[in-house]
Structures are given as C-alpha cells and as structure tokens.
Amino acid sequence: SQQGEEDPQALSIQEGENATMNCSYKTSINNLQWYRQNSGRGLVHLILIRSNEREKHSGRLRVTLDTSKKSSSLLITASRAADTASYFCATDNTGGFKTIFGAGTRLFVKA
Amino acid sequence: GAVVSQHPSWVICKSGTSVKIECRSLDFQATTMFWYRQFPKQSLMLMATSNEGSKATYEQGVEKDKFLINHASLTLSTLTVTSAHPEDSSFYICSARSPGQGVETQYFGPGTRLLVL
C-alpha cells in the first residue's frame, strides 16, 4: 500500500533553478524520509525528518514537515543536471514498523 | 555505513520457472527485512515484512504462495517468485532494519531486476 501522493508527478527545470517537490501522507508518522533513485538503480537516502521537527537542511537540500497538514516538501537549490532522478518520500507510521513510499516525483534538470 | 546486498542483480527466466532472490545484511544483524516491488515509472510497493525465525507478514493483495519468503538467519532473507509469469517482471528491492540502531534506521539493497519471458 502507498501512504500518499507526491506532486508534481514530473518536473522539468533549467540547471541553476530551484526544484520543489511536495509529499502528502495519510496517517500519523514517526518520521518522514526522502530518497533519490536514478533510473533503474537503487535508492539513495537523502534526509530524514522526525515528527517533532519542522525543517531540516543538508547541503543543497531543505526539507519541511507540517504534521498538521500531513505534508512535507523537499527543496533542491541551485539544481544540477546530476540531480535528474526520481524522488520519493517515505513514512514510518506511528505504531508500525513499515516504511511506506509515496508515488514519487520525476525531476529532469536541463543543462 | 551499513550495507545490504542483493543477489542476483538481474535475472532472466522462462515463464513457469521459479526464481530466488537473496537479501543479505553484510555488517549487521537484521531481525526484520522488507521486500518491495517496483514497476517501471512507479513507486516502491511494500510486498511483505520478513521476520527472522517466523512467518512473513504479507501486504494486502500479495499472494503468499507465489512469493515465498524465508528469513532463516539474522543476515539473510530470500524471496522466491514461484511459477513466474511475465507480469512478475519487476524491480525487487529489499531493506533491512536493525533494532539496535533505532527503528528509523533502514538500509536498502541495490535491487534485483527480474525479466520473465
């Protein structure tokens, strides 16, 4: 089962621009994670934000979490062609032990 | 960091045959492993939770008799796709948790691509 939705489903931007992806989920969570997946490859863990945190930074990545709206956003600043990939949010639900993935956003950064 | 491996990385088989995929935690003991399936241009769908020494817990809609999971040791879980058909062609990814490192610590394998002809 999938936890929620991500938007946009696909995003095409120019190198140097910022990319923002959103994720919504349905149940109470312990934490939310963002992953990157290059075409046909495995997952790369980007960042984890706990339910009691509102914002987190890692390099060019900025993640926000709004538990009242059950949503999160991932901002990639100064995008590069190498950022072209699919990005997924995933949640660890309260009381559960499973990680459930969102639908993903396919990002294409044009050089 | 912790590493999870999968073997094989890709496999092609004929329709009707069975395929076994291994998931190993290389430098930690994983009491719980998870199996996901990903179809092209789609997200990862959780198939089942594999617990060492006990039966796997399958997600709704996943046929337990078709996707056999065995978590015989703290470092190895196997997924066997029985009587595979072309619609089983997919990217299968495992992940492993170690409770000693916290519930939120999960490590993903590189995936196994299955093509059933």
pLDDT at B101 over 70: no
Query: What is the nearest CA distance from B46 to chain A, expressed in angstroms?
Result: 6
Please state, in angstroms and rounded to a whole number, the distance separating the CA atoms of residues B7 and B23: 7
Q: What is the pLDDT of residue A92?
A: 87
- pLDDT tens digits, one per residue of A38-92: 987 889 999 999 999 999 999 999 999 999 999 999 999 999 999 999 999 999 8
Please state, in angstroms and rounded to a whole number, the distance separating the CA atoms of residues A18 and A11: 11
| B90 reaches A (C-beta below 8 A) | no
Please state, in angstroms and rounded to a whole number, the distance separating the CA atoms of residues A37 and A53: 25
- The closest CB to that of A98, out of B42, B43, B49, belongs to B49
User: Within 10 Å of residue A108's Cβ, how many Cβ atoms?
Assistant: 14
Q: State the amino acid at position A63 in one-letter form.
A: V
Please state, in angstroms and rounded to a whole number, the distance separating the CA atoms of residues B69 and B34: 10
Q: What is the pLDDT of residue A110?
A: 96
| B45 contacts A2? CB cut-off 8 A | yes
Confidence of residue A4 (pLDDT cuts 50, 70, 90): low
DSSP A68: T
- Please name the residue of chain A whose CA is at the shortest distance from the CA of residue B62: A1
Q: Please name every residue paired with B67 in a beta bridge, in sequence order, or none if there are none.
A: B81
| B37 reaches A (C-beta below 8 A) | no
| B93 contacts A42? CB cut-off 8 A | yes
Mean of pLDDT values over B30-42 = 91
Residues in chain B with CB shorter than 8 Å from the CB of A100 are: 46
E strands, chain B, are 4-7, 10-13, 19-25, 32-38, 44-51, 57-58, 67-73, 76-81, 90-97, 106-108, 112-116
Q: What is the pLDDT of residue A16?
A: 97
Q: What is the pLDDT of residue B21?
A: 98
| B106 contacts A42? CB cut-off 8 A | no
Query: What is the nearest CA distance from B74 to chain A, expressed in angstroms?
Result: 17
| A95 reaches B (C-beta below 8 A) | no
Provide the mean pLDDT of chain B: 91
B52 or B39, higher pLDDT: B39
Residues in chain B with CB shorter than 8 Å from the CB of A102 are: 43
Query: What is the nearest CA distance from A2 to chain B, expressed in angstroms?
Result: 7
Instruction: Report residue B113 as tokens.
Output: 């691509």
Residues in chain B with CB shorter than 8 Å from the CB of A21 are: none
Query: Of A24-28, A72-76, B97-101, which range is least confident?
Result: B97-101
Please state, in angstroms and rounded to a whole number, the distance separating the CA atoms of residues A77 and B29: 37
Please state, in angstroms and rounded to a whole number, the distance separating the CA atoms of residues A95 and A43: 25
User: Within 10 Å of residue A99's Cβ, how many Cβ atoms?
Assistant: 23
